[in-house]
């Protein structure tokens, strides 16, 4: 089924989960779209079954806490950053709730975590003004970049390059095979002193980069030339909260939540807002992602996860 303006406007909340007693920090869909995993300030990691629409399992990271979380390519394994004791990244087997490996190195909070789409490489960005390159098979950092400010970073969909957003004003593109030689492209953006960049994502077709901020706008840029394609606004973020913005899997639409519980959707090509959806949230929607394989998306505010699905058709899988 193809995503269109009409199909997007037909999305409705299908399930609401209140498994957490504290703020939900992050979530991530499995590559096959069958599960979504969340992390929370209550130190819990909750695994949800997207097909059955129910919580599957809850694990705890009481000692270290859990902040950003990402699925790896191996079945039932995740990497996550900590928010207690230290800033080590941990590689966890969900199957038996045991750590496979630790990745020490950062000495301040990890604010970006991105898994390579093709192999066991991942990158992390920290408030210590560094980006580190890792391999799941080794606890040693494979590469280190010192930057001038807080970074946001992400792999492109082919896993050959990664983008780093620095100081909320520059996007630098690095070739993974020769990143020590510096960026092969740098795009300077207009600096806005009223907000800072909080996230950076590539579209699945690799042509676009989405920059999210803690202000009331997000920016869509050309991944090859760095030109600003659109600046999307008109949603509430009065408390300067970090709101996650996302592409739909077909790269055609951009979504973000707001502090009044609404979800705003734009057409990436025209820049026109095509939908405002009611996520049934009582507070700011800090996490928002579309399922990579099925016609559902998940959103989270404070301690509540909401799964919305398309009601325009009985068929839920992407064609």
Burial 30-63 (b: 16+ CB within 10 A, else e): beebbbbbbbbbbbbbbbbebeeeeeeeeeebee
Pick the residue with more confidence: 123 or 149? 123
> CB count, 10 Å around CB of 242?
16
State which residues form the domain around 289: 5-310
Q: What is the pLDDT of residues 159-176, one digit of tens each?
A: 999 999 999 999 999 999
Residue 21's DSSP bridge partners are none
pLDDT at position 311 is 75
Residue 125 has pLDDT above 70, yes or no: yes
Residue 100: Cβ-neighbour burial (10 angstroms; 0-12, 13-18, 19+): middle
Phi-psi region of 140 (alpha: psi -120 to 50; beta: other; left: phi over 0): beta
Pick the residue with more confidence: 314 or 96? 96
What average pLDDT score do residues 250-254 get?
97
State the Cα angle at 291 between 311 and 81, rounded to 5°: 145
Residues 6+ apart with CB under 8 A from 145: 130, 131, 132, 133, 164, 174, 179
pLDDT tier, 288 (very low <50, low <70, confident <90, very high otherwise):
very high
Residue in the structure block whose two tokens are 């992602």: 289
Q: Classify residue 196: in a domain, yes or no.
A: yes
Q: Which two tokens stand for residue 179?
A: 């990143």
Q: Classify residue 58: in a domain, yes or no.
A: yes
Total structural domains within the chain: 1
Query: What's the mean pLDDT when you consider all of the chain?
Result: 92
Displacement of CA 211 from its chain's centroid (Å): 11
Phi, psi (rounded to 5 degrees) for 177 = -80, -15
Of 237, 256, 304, 282, the residue nearest 42 (C-alpha):
304
Q: Classify residue 317: in a domain, yes or no.
A: no
pLDDT tier, 135 (very low <50, low <70, confident <90, very high otherwise):
very high
Residues 6+ apart with CB under 8 A from 243: 198, 212, 214, 237, 256, 257, 258, 259, 284, 285, 286, 288
Residue 318 has pLDDT above 60, yes or no: no
Residue 246 has pLDDT above 90, yes or no: yes
Q: What is the pLDDT of residues 194-233, one digit of tens each?
A: 899 999 999 999 999 999 999 999 999 999 999 999 999 9
Q: Classify residue 286: in a domain, yes or no.
A: yes
Q: Classify residue 111: in a domain, yes or no.
A: yes
Residue in the structure block whose two tokens are 């659109």: 230
Q: What's the whole-model pTM score?
A: 0.93
Residue 310 has pLDDT above 70, yes or no: yes
Of 114, 111, 115, the residue nearest 130 (C-alpha):
111
What average pLDDT score do residues 242-271 get?
95
pLDDT tier, 312 (very low <50, low <70, confident <90, very high otherwise):
low
d(CA 208, CA 289): 17
What average pLDDT score do residues 256-266 get?
94
What average pLDDT score do residues 82-98 get?
93
Burial 127-165 (b: 16+ CB within 10 A, else e): ebbbbbbbbbeeeebeeebebeebbbbbbbeeeebbbbb
Residue 20 has pLDDT above 70, yes or no: yes
d(CA 253, CA 265): 7
pLDDT tier, 93 (very low <50, low <70, confident <90, very high otherwise):
very high
Q: Classify residue 36: in a domain, yes or no.
A: yes
Q: Classify residue 318: in a domain, yes or no.
A: no
CATH number of the domain within which 144 lies: 2.130.10.10
What average pLDDT score do residues 142-168 get?
94
**Which range has the top average pLDDT, 177-181, 206-210, 239-243?**
206-210
Q: Classify residue 211: in a domain, yes or no.
A: yes
d(CA 96, CA 74): 14
pLDDT at position 319 is 29
**Which range has the top average pLDDT, 61-65, 72-76, 273-277?**
273-277
What average pLDDT score do residues 25-54 get?
92
């Amino acid at each position: 089924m193809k995503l269109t303006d009409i199909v997007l406007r037909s999305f409705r909340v299908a399930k609401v989960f209140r498994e957490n007693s504290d703020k939900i920090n992050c979530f991530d869909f499995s590559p096959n779209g069958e599960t979504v995993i969340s992390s929370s300030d209550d130190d819990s990691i909750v695994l949800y079954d997207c097909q059955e629409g129910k919580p599957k399992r809850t694990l705890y990271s009481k000692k270290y806490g859990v902040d950003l979380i990402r699925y790896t390519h191996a079945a039932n394994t995740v990497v996550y950053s900590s928010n207690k004791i230290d800033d080590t990244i941990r590689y966890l087997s969900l199957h038996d709730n045991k750590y496979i490996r630790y990745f020490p190195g950062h000495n301040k909070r990890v604010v970006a975590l991105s898994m390579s789409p093709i192999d066991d490489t991942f990158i992390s960005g920290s408030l210590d003004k560094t980006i580190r390159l890792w391999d799941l098979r080794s606890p040693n950092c494979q590469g280190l970049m010192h930057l001038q400010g807080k970074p946001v970073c992400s792999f492109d969909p082919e896993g050959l390059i990664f983008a780093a957003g620095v100081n909320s004003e520059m996007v630098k593109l690095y070739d993974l095979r020769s990143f020590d030689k510096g960026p092969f492209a740098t795009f300077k953006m207009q600096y806005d002193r009223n907000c800072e960049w909080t996230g950076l994502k590539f579209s699945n077709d690799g042509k676009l980069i989405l920059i999210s901020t803690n202000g009331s706008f997000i920016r869509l840029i050309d991944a090859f030339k760095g030109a600003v394609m659109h600046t999307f606004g008109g949603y509430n973020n009065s408390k300067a909260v970090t709101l996650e913005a996302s592409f739909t899997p077909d790269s055609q639409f951009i979504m973000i939540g707001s502090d009044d519980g609404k979800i705003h959707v734009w057409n990436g090509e025209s820049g026109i807002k095509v939908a405002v959806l009611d996520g049934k949230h009582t507070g700011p929607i800090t996490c928002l992602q579309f399922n990579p394989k099925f016609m559902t998306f998940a959103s989270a505010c404070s301690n509540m996860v909401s799964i919305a699905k398309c009601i325009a058709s009985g068929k839920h899988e992407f064609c």
